[in-house]
Amino acid sequence: MRGVSIVERAVSTRDIRPALMGIQLEAMPGELRLAGCDLEMRIEYVIPAETSREGKALVEGRYFSAIARRLPDGMVELEQDDHAGVLHVRGGRADMTLHLIVGEEFPEPPAGDYLTGLTLDQELLKTMIKQTAFATADADELRAFMRGILFEVQDGQLHLVATDSSRLAVRRASAPDLPPLRVLVPARALQELARFLPFEGAEAVEIAVGDNQIAMKVGGAAFYSRLFEATFPDYRMLLPKDMPTKVVVGRKALEEAIDRVSLVVRKGPAVVDFALKSGVMELLCQSKDVGRGFDELAASQEGPDIEISFQARLITEALKALDDHDEVSMAFTSETGPMVLSIPGEDDYLYLLMPVRG
């Protein structure tokens, strides 16, 4: 069940080619390899098995997944009947058969040399992906660099960076033993990997990078994806140097206040007006056809008062990604310039957000 739940994330849901809607099962000595591939990403998962006959079978993913989830507890027997063109799936007293997908070539694993290898802690990588991936653009964005996460190792530091042009998320970690690297990884591939981290019994994620592809392996699972060839902008040039107003506020309290005042917006993105006045953060949201929402929070403020507006969702997504922290720091350049959200006393994360201009 775990293996199917992992590989089905790469099974196509669009009726393009039957093979891409399938899960491939490959029986090998002592193990069973499951695989799904939609041409953008390939996921494999290997589990121990008693194999009496080696071979491959391709079945429709959604039906195989549904059957696997509903089998009784215990051992599962898979038997391919070439004459009838079906795969028997047996568990307990249940005997289900699925028609094989025939006449279709299932994509082979990516070929080529992997020149760079990295080993990363599972929990660290999961956190870094979580704190950046949300800032990428939707899948229909044509500019590839906005759908990817920059994976950069430089000067003993690992950086994951994401942007959708209105915001920028940067997560850093010490990486003194990693070789220099700068590649643009599709956000989807990293998000699917993070979904299943950490794998019990596995110590780390092994990452191999080639000219145009990346392979990430952990705990019997392997995630393959092509790299984006787009150029990621020099994000360091976007980071402001002078931020005269700074405030520290409770993360959860801020998230809840934004959610409350945003309730009065029926259509379109909710915009929250922030006003910092002598250690008090006021939040205001109003809608002509619904009403008005107001709240205020105690805050530790440095620098002059300021009034500025942001899309509510673009702040709350960052706050949710930092749910293991009690407080956040917000630094402001001006009423029309970017805000930088970070963790008080730490320098390994920042989130830059452009304001809504009235």
- Within 10 Å of residue 343's Cβ, how many Cβ atoms? 20
**Is residue 37 scored above 90 in pLDDT?**
yes
- Rg of the chain over Cα atoms, rounded to whole angstroms, equals 24
Which pLDDT value is given to residue 268?
A: 84
Query: Which strand (E) or helix (H) includes residue 69?
Result: helix 61-70
Which pLDDT value is given to residue 14?
A: 81
Phi, psi of 194 (to 5 degrees): -65, -30
DSSP 127: H
Residues written for the chain: 358
Q: Determine the Cα–Cα distance for residues 329 and 247; give it in Å rounded to an integer.
A: 6
Output 115 or 63, whichever has higher pLDDT. Answer: 63
Structure token digits, residue 289: 């056809």
Please list, in sequence order, all residues whose beta carbon lies within 8 angstroms of the beta carbon of residue 108, skipping any fewer than 6 positions away: none
Which pLDDT value is given to residue 78?
A: 97
Q: What is the CATH number of domain 114-237?
A: 3.10.150.10
Mean pLDDT across 82-106: 93
Average pLDDT along the chain:
94
Which pLDDT value is given to residue 357?
A: 82
Mean pLDDT across 59-79: 95
Q: What is the pLDDT of residues 117-174, one digit of tens each?
A: 899 999 999 999 999 999 999 988 889 999 999 999 999 999 999 999 999 999 999 9
Report the greatest alpha carbon distance in the chain.
80
Which pLDDT value is given to residue 218?
A: 96
Which pLDDT value is given to residue 159?
A: 97
Mean pLDDT across 37-52: 95
- Give me the CATH topology for the region 2-99: DNA Polymerase III; Chain A, domain 2 (3.10.150)
Please list, in sequence order, all residues whose beta carbon lies within 8 angstroms of the beta carbon of residue 300, skipping any fewer than 6 positions away: 247, 248, 249, 279
Q: What is the CATH number of domain 239-353?
A: 3.10.150.10
Contact 77, 88 (CB under 8 A): yes
**Is residue 105 scored above 80 in pLDDT?**
yes
Instruction: State the pTM of this model.
Output: 0.93
Domain ranges of the chain: 2-99, 114-237, 239-353
Q: Determine the Cα–Cα distance for residues 349 and 132; give it in Å rounded to an integer.
A: 9
pLDDT category at 4 given cuts 50, 70, 90 is very high
Which pLDDT value is given to residue 28?
A: 97
Q: What is the pLDDT of residues 246-261, one digit of tens each?
A: 999 999 999 999 999 9
Which pLDDT value is given to residue 358?
A: 63
pLDDT category at 211 given cuts 50, 70, 90 is confident
